Chain A
Amino acid sequence: MFRLYHSTQADVQACEKESARQEDTMNSRGLRSQLKDSVPVAGLCPQGAYGVQDSLRSGFTSVKNELLPSHPLELSEKNFQLNQDKMNFSTLRNIQGLHAPLKLQMEYRAARQIQRLPFLPSSNLALDTLRGSDECIGFEDVLCDPGQSEVMGEPHMMVEYKLGLL
């Protein structure tokens, strides 16, 4: 079971690296550093029923719309947690040495694996406790609660995608 999970993760990472490299050449300079680590999902498949461009919701198709973010905060918000963790770990490494971030990252990785099936929202309780965000309230607790989302992924498709059988 564990081996299957490993292989899917490696595949997904390889996929991300490829598309990130393609984007580097096409992007404007200001966003380059932010886009390197993230993959815009819109580039993979158009959102809308039956896989066709949804003109009512997202307007006419344009390559610019799919690659560049339309809101100045979109990218920084998507990568915010990642960047915070990176900053904290590098500070820890400089202060206490390599062992401190290594041990913490091991715990984070273990906690991140405690998830429900892919189409159900997970509480991420262990991860929250490790990060200390169980004692904070932010906009992510108030707005767009994933437990109350109006759409749900198709269970069989999502499990197959996660296991790499798609």
Chain B
Amino acid sequence: MYGFEALTFNIHGGYLEAIVRGHRASLLTAADYNNLCQCETLDDIKMHLSATEYGPYLQNEPSPLHTTTIVEKCTLKLVDEYKNMLCQATEPLSTFLEYITYGHMIDNVVLIVTGTLHERDVQELLEKCHPLGMFDSIATLAVAQNMRELYRLVLVDTPLAPYFSECITSEDLDDMNIEIMRNTLYKAYLEDFYRFCQKLGGATAEIMSDLLAFEADRRAVNITINSIGTELTRDDRRKLYSNFGLLYPYGHEELAICEDIDQVRGAMEKYPPYQSIFAKLSYGESQMLDKAFYEEEVKRLCLAFEQQFHYAVFFAYMRLREQEIRNLMWISECVAQNQKSRVHDSVVFIF
């Protein structure tokens, strides 16, 4: 059961909770999305966004706009808000906020390592990294030849260091090893974040457990679907699933042996929360699965704001903003490619 959070939360967290709830109120509404979906060009999108909080970030961008520019500038806004909150947070909220960015840090590490393997310029790779996942010694990643060096030279001093114990080998880095490294790191990060939230206790533990369990389950499904027809063995696939979530452990056993999307559906439909997701798809289809999962995630994230005095609102806000940026990216691509009839294939309304 909860502690007496209502008595003490506002001492250190009240201000930032109010800030994040204010930010939440500025998320785009269905009316905004309807206007954006009717735009003919990317400049029209820029004009509509100028009336929102994205306005100052896009106003100085010259025409012709590109979809990547819109995504970059919208992401910058999210980064500014995050840094503003982080610099005013005290423990344990500051650690909680840092945890939210470790996923991006893992993606950046993999991007730098993969790009170096492909003889890309390090500076070019750094420009493509997610700003939320940057750390000081990231450029040094380019000198590592294997995971042991990666850990010893660079990552030992980063928050990702504890996650490397499960994947340190002396094998040279190649595409398959890097992919396994990415997913192993992410698995370790999710489990660590889960344990941290459990230690915090109260409403934070309860709400974050649900959100992180959903994230772990969705990852398991994506890993399964993406690995169908690849050289990843069943045992290796099983090792990439997190050790918590609704699907752990029996659902994971079934997912590990799936060879097509219908078998995945058969495994997932035994769990009522996921039955409704797969009910939206026709047999043999996986195109709309992403949207179905995003819709479910948005529903759960919005519910986090129904309760006060917990840290899950910060996590929910960051994720909702990322979903909004995904929506803007999708609308921009459909407008740029003159495929406006397909715009509703992937837009997920938040309100």
Are A and B interaction partners? no
B residues with CB within 8 A of A: none
A residues with CB within 8 A of B: none
